[in-house]
């Protein structure tokens, strides 16, 4: 069976990913590259409140956030689904599930309005700058930050040794930690050479850019940021190559 590294956060997401990969007759190599560290903060009240991840929604609700007449925005279907699971309505989902897509969606309606962005401490400046340029009064609350687990690195060793058929990168931070471990081991060159023979999947364009920045190419880039679809497409590509 193909060996595929899965690097999702060390919570229920990695467990769900392993179960799904096993259903595809794949040997998953579990190597979490991220630990989610909550800050204990919750979003401020504003006329618009923006969530960018399911994790952010879960932590905001856990720490007491409640919707109060604001326009609730979600970058993507999974974030929107998390809000609805908690009983909140979602007013805005951009047609393109990116920060740029949300800026384009809100540009004509946020001038002079307050906008609260509730997300991780590692978000890009695209959302903040774009909304400010549209005339909004923007505030950002960091709901969590991401650390590299001390146990991370098994998949890096296997990749360098040519023992992986595929690698599933599900966020830019995951990519940075993966290649950072290789750099700490003085194995960047060997990893890049091995990566050329490995099917690399990136869940979205920001993650793909991070892969390319680290000197590797992306073989699978799905049109929707769904982990299961992304994983299935990557596994299918591996099997096409192995036939």
Q: 74-98 in b/e burial notation, b at 16+ Cβ within 10 A?
A: bbbebbbebbeeeebebebbbeebb
pLDDT, residue 124, reads 83
Yes or no: say if 131 and 103 are a contact pair by the CB < 8 Å rule. yes
| 117-174 pLDDT, tens digit each | 999 998 888 999 999 999 999 999 999 999 999 999 999 999 999 999 999 999 999 9
Q: Does domain 40-120 match CATH 3.40.50.10090?
A: yes
Closest CA to 167 of 13, 27, 5: 5
Pairing of strands 137-147, 35-38: antiparallel
CA distance 205 to 115: 25
Closest CA to 217 of 200, 240, 239: 200
Instruction: Parse the chain into domains and list their residue ranges.
Output: 3-34+150-242, 40-120
What is the CATH architecture assignment of 3-34+150-242? 3-Layer(aba) Sandwich (3.40)
Yes or no: say if 32 and 49 are a contact pair by the CB < 8 Å rule. no
pLDDT confidence band for 47 (50 / 70 / 90): very high
Yes or no: say if 104 and 96 are a contact pair by the CB < 8 Å rule. yes
The percent of residues in the chain predicted with pLDDT above 70, rounded, is 100
| 7's tokens | 């690097």
pLDDT confidence band for 96 (50 / 70 / 90): confident
Q: Do domains 3-34+150-242 and 40-120 have the same CATH topology?
A: yes
pLDDT, residue 77, reads 86
State the Cα torsion 14-16-21-25 to the nearest 10°: 130
User: Distances from the Cα of 48 to the Cαs of 31, 89, 109, 112, in angstroms?
Assistant: 37, 13, 10, 11
| 192-205 pLDDT, tens digit each | 999 999 999 999 88
Q: What's the mean pLDDT in 206-234?
A: 90
Residues in Cβ contact with 102 at an 8 Å cutoff, skipping those fewer than 6 apart: 50, 73, 75, 92, 94, 127
pLDDT confidence band for 11 (50 / 70 / 90): confident
């Amino acid at each position: 069976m193909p060996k595929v590294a899965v690097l999702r956060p060390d919570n229920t997401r990695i467990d769900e990913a392993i179960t799904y990969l096993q259903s595809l007759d794949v040997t998953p190599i579990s190597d979490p590259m991220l630990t989610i560290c909550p800050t204990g903060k919750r979003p401020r009240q504003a006329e618009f409140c923006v969530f960018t991840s399911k994790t952010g929604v879960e932590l905001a609700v856990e720490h007491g956030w409640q919707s109060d007449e604001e326009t609730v925005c979600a970058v993507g279907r999974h974030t929107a689904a998390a809000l609805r699971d908690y009983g909140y309505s979602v007013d805005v989902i951009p047609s393109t599930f990116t920060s740029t897509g949300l800026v384009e969606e809100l540009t004509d309606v946020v001038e002079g309005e307050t906008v609260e962005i509730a997300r991780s401490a590692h978000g890009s400046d695209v959302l903040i700058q774009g909304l400010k340029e549209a005339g909004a009064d923007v505030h950002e609350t960091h709901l969590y930050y991401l650390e590299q687990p001390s146990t991370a690195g098994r998949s890096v060793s296997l990749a360098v040794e040519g023992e992986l058929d595929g690698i599933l990168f599900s966020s830019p931070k995951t990519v940075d930690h993966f290649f950072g471990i290789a750099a700490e081991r003085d194995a960047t060159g060997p990893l890049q050479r091995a990566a050329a023979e490995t099917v690399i999947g990136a869940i979205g364009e920001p993650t793909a850019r991070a892969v390319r920045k680290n000197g590797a190419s992306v073989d699978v880039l799905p049109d929707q940021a769904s982990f299961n679809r992304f994983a299935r497409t990557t596994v299918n590509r591996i099997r096409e190559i192995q036939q």
